[in-house]
């Protein structure tokens, strides 16, 4: 396994980061390898933590659907670390182990709104362009607020996977 491209900042080694580290650990339960790299840019780490706290804890997107999208993004982008990190969250949100494993191959076995979210995630991640017919289905299934927040979630976790892969964070 290759080492991260940027040397992580070990928690507790830079007194000027103590407050930020406490905030991150409070929101996340720990300073993960991702945040250890982000701490090289305290302002970015702070903004990232605030933004992803909103994405993960304060939107109207049901946790099951949020985690389904995150896992699918991880599969499509080859972000193994992201996938492994979110399996416990997906299970806690009620996503079945069978559905989680199915996301590794394709999302065709999913039904209803889960299938719709998986197809939306695939379109945004693979093609970037969302077909009008798919958007029309989404527009019927979700209110505007949830659709905006779902779209932001998918876009944000594509950023996460790309950052993890580029920086070789495992």
Q: What's the rounded Cα separation, in Å, for the pair 151 and 154? A: 5
61 has pLDDT over 90: yes
DSSP string for 70-104: HHHHHHHHT-HHHHHHHHHHHHHTT--HHHHHHTT
* Residue scoring higher pLDDT (101 or 66): 66
Domain locations along the chain: 15-57, 63-166
What is the reported pTM?
A: 0.94
What is the architecture, at CATH level 2, of domain 63-166? Up-down Bundle (1.20)
CA-angle at 130, arms to 135 and 67, nearest 5°: 80
Of 165, 72, 161, 167, nearest in space to 117 by CA: 72
Residues 75-103 have pLDDT tens digits of 999 999 999 999 999 999 999 998 898 89
């Amino acid at each position: 396994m290759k080492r991260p491209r940027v040397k992580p900042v070990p928690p507790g080694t830079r007194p000027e980061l103590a407050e930020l580290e406490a905030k991150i650990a409070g929101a996340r339960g720990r300073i993960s390898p991702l945040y250890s790299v982000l701490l090289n840019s305290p302002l970015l780490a702070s903004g990232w933590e605030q933004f992803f706290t909103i994405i993960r804890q304060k939107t109207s997107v049901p946790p099951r659907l949020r985690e389904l999208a995150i896992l699918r993004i991880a599969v499509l982008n080859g972000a193994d670390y992201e996938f492994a990190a979110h399996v416990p969250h997906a299970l806690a949100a009620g996503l079945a182990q069978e559905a989680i494993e199915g996301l590794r191959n394709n999302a065709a076995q999913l039904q209803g709104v889960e299938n719709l979210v998986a197809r939306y995630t695939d379109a945004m991640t693979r093609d970037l362009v969302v077909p009008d017919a798919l958007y029309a289905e989404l527009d019927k299934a979700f209110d505007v607020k949830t659709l905006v927040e779902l779209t932001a979630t998918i876009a944000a976790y594509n950023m996460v996977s790309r950052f993890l892969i580029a920086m070789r964070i495992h």
